Amino acid sequence: MVDTIVMLVGRVPGVCGPPDVLRATLRLMRRLFPSSSAAAAPGSAAVPATAPGDPEWSIEEIADEYAYPPLAEGADGAWLRGNMVASLDGAISHGGRSQPLSSRSDMWIFGVLRGLADVVVVGAQTVRLEGYRPARARAVFADRRAEAGQAPAPAIAVVSASLELDFSAPLFTEPVVPTLVVTGECAPDDRVERARAAGAEVVFAGEGDAADPARVPAALAERGLRRQLTEGGPTLLGEFAAAGVLDELCLSLSPRVTVGEAPRAMRGPALPEPDDFTLAGVLEEDGFLFTRYRRFRQSAE
């Protein structure tokens, strides 16, 4: 199972025990919602083959659990999913990084979410703080991605107004698929040219210096990148939520407390009214809760 996780995310933070210890830990994964006895529509991914209490969930079953819904072609087919980890007291980082709040199972699901996505959308500051590297092609997802018509690995899309990025970093020099830079139409011309010279694809999604969060999902979907995953940071995630384009939030609740002044999952001006999301699923492993919420939409009827 250690090898499986390495194939998923390329690294296993904090794993120092023997493989059999890790394997036993991952066997504790169970679903809390919806229950395995709940009725599912034909062809639905709501209930995987493995029920709570069974020895172990396979990669395929976890991927089915987090599968994107059927999507339309073109700009109208975007589905933007957020993924964050938070402590019991609401912090999303400790010492400026998210890793101290994470776990082996959290990284496992993190890898599955990336393995399903066409593109990973991330803010420039998060790229700098977390030392982002290109997503890698993982053999465990090769068949699934090929059948879906996806590239071998998701593209990374960096949202930046200033384009003050290190274009000599591996994110731009070693990607499996070209890294994208998402900005506004009035971004500095010299930096736009630097990004293109580094091999990045520049995507304009706004009329000013910065990208308009409301236009980012459609701009990416027009390029065939409809299955979208954003990993933050909190400012970008808050902007997407405020713009009404965040379709789903996968929030991992860590059984840890940090206190301090760390940011919460979303940051920005308060919404005029709270936006409702509905619970789509909860998995639990070793005290971590892996929740999925989908934005509530009124019926057209």
Q: What is the pLDDT of residues 122-135, one digit of tens each?
A: 999 989 988 899 99
pLDDT score of 260: 82
Strand partners, 81: 229, 248
Interaxial angle between packed helices 19-26 and 2-9, expressed in degrees from 0 to 180 and rounded to the nearest 10: 80
Q: Which of 96-100, 246-250, 292-296 has the lowest mean pLDDT?
A: 96-100
DSSP state of 101: G
- pLDDT tops 50 at residue 37: yes
Measuring CA to CA, which residue among 179, 165, 84 is closest to residue 127?
Answer: 165
pLDDT score of 295: 93
pLDDT digits (tens, 9 = 90+) for 234-292: 999 999 999 999 999 999 998 888 898 888 888 888 888 999 999 999 998 888 999 99
Cβ atoms 233, 125 nearer than 8 A = yes
What span, in angstroms and rounded, lies between the C-alpha atoms of 83 and 65?
15
Domain map (residue ranges) of the chain? 73-267+276-295
Q: How many CB atoms lie within 10 A of CB 32?
A: 13
List the structure tokens of 201: 């694809």
List the structure tokens of 47: 């209930």
Strands (E), the chain: 30-33, 79-86, 119-123, 155-159, 180-183, 201-204, 227-230, 248-253, 277-285, 288-295
pLDDT digits (tens, 9 = 90+) for 148-204: 999 999 999 999 999 999 999 999 999 999 999 999 999 999 999 999 999 999 999
Cβ atoms 134, 156 nearer than 8 A = yes
Cβ atoms 101, 91 nearer than 8 A = yes
Burial label, 73 (beta-carbon count in 10 A; 0-12, 13-18, 19+): exposed
pLDDT score of 11: 36
* Sequence-distant contacts of 187-192: CB under 8 A, at least 24 apart: 187/161, 187/162, 187/163, 188/162, 188/163, 191/162, 191/163, 191/164, 192/163
pLDDT digits (tens, 9 = 90+) for 188-235: 999 999 999 999 999 999 999 999 999 999 999 999 999 999 998 899
CA distances from 276 to 266, 295, 298 (A): 15, 6, 10
Phi, psi of 49 (to 5 degrees): -65, -30
CA distances from 266 to 17, 113, 236, 241 (A): 34, 19, 8, 8
| pTM of the predicted model as reported, rounded to 2 decimal places | 0.82
Q: Which residue has the tokens 């694809």?
A: 201
Strand partners, 97: 94
pLDDT score of 149: 94
State the CATH architecture for 73-267+276-295: 3-Layer(aba) Sandwich (3.40)
Strand partners, 284: 30, 289
